[in-house]
Amino acid sequence: MAASSAAHPQAPGFPRLLSALASPDSVADLETHVAHWGALPLRSARSTLLDELDASGLRGHGGAWFPVGTKWRAVGCGRARRPVVVANGAESEPASRKDEFLLTQSPHLVLDGASLAAATLNANRVVVYVPSRHVNSVRRSVQARRRARIDPVEIEVVAAPDAYLSGQESAVVHALNNGPATPTFVGMQSVRDRGVRGRPTLVQNVETLAHVAMISRYGGQWFRSVGTENSPGTMLLTITGRWAEPMVVEAPLGVPFRDLLTLSPQDTGGYWGALLGGYGGGWVSILDLLDCRLTEESARDLSSSLGAGVVVLLPRTLCPLVESARVIRYMQRQAAGQCGPCIHGLADLAAHFEGLAFNPAKFRNRFPPILQLCNLIDGRGACRHPDGVTRFVRSALVVFREEVDKHFRRGPCAAVNGPALLPCPDHHGRHQ
């Protein structure tokens, strides 16, 4: 390939991930990609990428914010069996679009990252796990790379079922082992030790792999030129409720949400607050949000999470309790139905919260039981799905406590039958 002889084009300033896109709708095909980013530096991957990843401080963008270098070392540390690399693009958070954005508009950055992981860890199987609607387009990108002989290991593209839990790490492995895409009880083990076909397995979010693709070219120090000490670099966010349509934006970590959202004081008064992180994240009040910096730690300080970069601003025209009740019911329906405390706990939580939203008079005395239920559910599933729901519920009760009181005093509000903001897709069936 002609472009492979070219030196690496200059490192982008900001934006990074989106810098190859001429316009927000354009697609970086292989030619554009190579012209913009240069050839895939596989050789240096084998020798120096792990050190560069450690130096970069890159953390996982799928929601757990785990240090990537540490994770790769755990998968790759001198094992007899060769590892499997899985690029996780399932993106089952209904309010998230950022992985889809990358996969459709900058797929080669993700595929670069997957091949770099394979080269670094000496893996001999690479799987890209994406929703079925993206399988064909990703396959076409893989074929273009095959013709250009870019990837050291053939990349498989596998469809992820449309279900909330299909992107959970052990569920991904379960699906690739020909099981249903439901979480398994890994106890204190990890898929890093025993994953696909019992082999050490790296399951890494697609955005994280795109950051890896840049680090491999420009190094860990370059990566740190944006962001904070603990949260270097940039991240993709899906912001809903701010503009007419949900938007995927790239932002430097550490910026205050105030600067990111650029709300006038008048606009600010029009929102209750925002859901941060996704449906396993938590609500924060609008004033707390504006002061919050874009890091996982700052979000945790507000009992929330940056998760996979979901931000949903909730306007005051909607009822926060109704929106929350719908999400809790969705999360209850999306549970894998494997663990007793989750099955019963989420069903009770959803019913109680619907009572709070729709029939508060009857549920006047049920407020403490909701918190007791949360305490009873925490940590008792095979995965963290129930824990995410309890975080969501607790945050709703704190951030919207005045609304809860108002509902108790005056009954359900006028917004009960209004339009809904938070998407609760009706996935066909639970988990096939």
Partner 1 sequence: MESRRTSGQGAREGATPVARWRVTLVVDPTLCDGHGVCAELFPEGVTMDHWGYPIIDGEEIPPGLGDHARRAVAACPRLALHLVEVRR
Site stretch for partner 1 (CB under 8 A), options 91-99, 283-291, 340-348, 409-417: 340-348
Please report, as a single letter, which amino acid is at residue 79.
Answer: R
Kindly state whether residue 187 participates in binding partner 1, applying the rule CB under 8 A. yes
The closest alpha carbon to 425, from 210, 86, 166, 189, belongs to 166
| In contact, 230 and 297? CB cutoff 8 Å | yes
Kindly state whether residue 132 participates in binding partner 1, applying the rule CB under 8 A. no
Q: How many residues bind partner 1 (CB under 8 A)?
A: 17
DSSP for 70-119 reads HHHHHHHSS-SSPPEEEEE-----TT--HHHHHHHHSHHHHHHHHHHHHH
Contacts of 158 (CB under 8 A, 6+ apart): 127, 128, 129, 130, 135, 175, 176
Kindly state whether residue 184 participates in binding partner 1, applying the rule CB under 8 A. yes
Kindly state whether residue 176 participates in binding partner 1, applying the rule CB under 8 A. no
Instruction: Between 40 and 173, name the residue whose CB sits nearer to partner 1.
Output: 173
CB of 342 to partner 1, least distance (A): 7
| In contact, 60 and 117? CB cutoff 8 Å | no
The closest alpha carbon to 205, from 106, 110, 283, 94, belongs to 110
Kindly state whether residue 175 participates in binding partner 1, applying the rule CB under 8 A. no
CA atoms within 13 A on the CB side of 409: 6
User: Can you tell me which of 163, 214, 342, 357 binds partner 1, judged by CB under 8 A?
Assistant: 342
User: Can you tell me which of 8, 81, 146, 380 binds partner 1, judged by CB under 8 A?
Assistant: 380
d(CA 88, CA 169): 9
User: Can you tell me which of 345, 355, 360, 388 binds partner 1, judged by CB under 8 A?
Assistant: 345
Site stretch for partner 1 (CB under 8 A), options 51-59, 158-166, 283-291, 342-350: 342-350
CB of 187 to partner 1, least distance (A): 6
Instruction: Between 186 and 413, name the residue whose CB sits nearer to partner 1.
Output: 186
The closest alpha carbon to 141, from 247, 34, 234, 216, belongs to 34
Kindly state whether residue 27 participates in binding partner 1, applying the rule CB under 8 A. no
CB of 341 to partner 1, least distance (A): 5
Site stretch for partner 1 (CB under 8 A), options 108-116, 226-234, 314-322, 341-349: 341-349
Kindly state whether residue 350 participates in binding partner 1, applying the rule CB under 8 A. no
d(CA 370, CA 375): 9
Please report, as a single letter, which amino acid is at residue 126.
Answer: V
For the chain, give the number of residues: 432
d(CA 186, CA 170): 8
Kindly state whether residue 166 participates in binding partner 1, applying the rule CB under 8 A. no
Kindly state whether residue 188 participates in binding partner 1, applying the rule CB under 8 A. yes
Burial code of 11-49, b = ≥16 C-beta within 10 A, e = fewer? ebeebbbbbbbeeeeeebebebbbebbbbbbbeebeebb
The closest alpha carbon to 243, from 261, 226, 216, belongs to 261
Kindly state whether residue 244 participates in binding partner 1, applying the rule CB under 8 A. no
User: Can you tell me which of 14, 185, 287, 297 binds partner 1, judged by CB under 8 A?
Assistant: 185
CB of 172 to partner 1, least distance (A): 16
Kindly state whether residue 376 participates in binding partner 1, applying the rule CB under 8 A. yes
CB of 1 to partner 1, least distance (A): 46
Binding to partner 1 (CB under 8 A): which residues in 382-401? 382
Kindly state whether residue 338 participates in binding partner 1, applying the rule CB under 8 A. yes
Site stretch for partner 1 (CB under 8 A), options 92-100, 265-273, 313-321, 336-344: 336-344
Give the residues lining the site for partner 1 (CB under 8 A): 183-185, 187-189, 338-342, 344-345, 376, 380-382
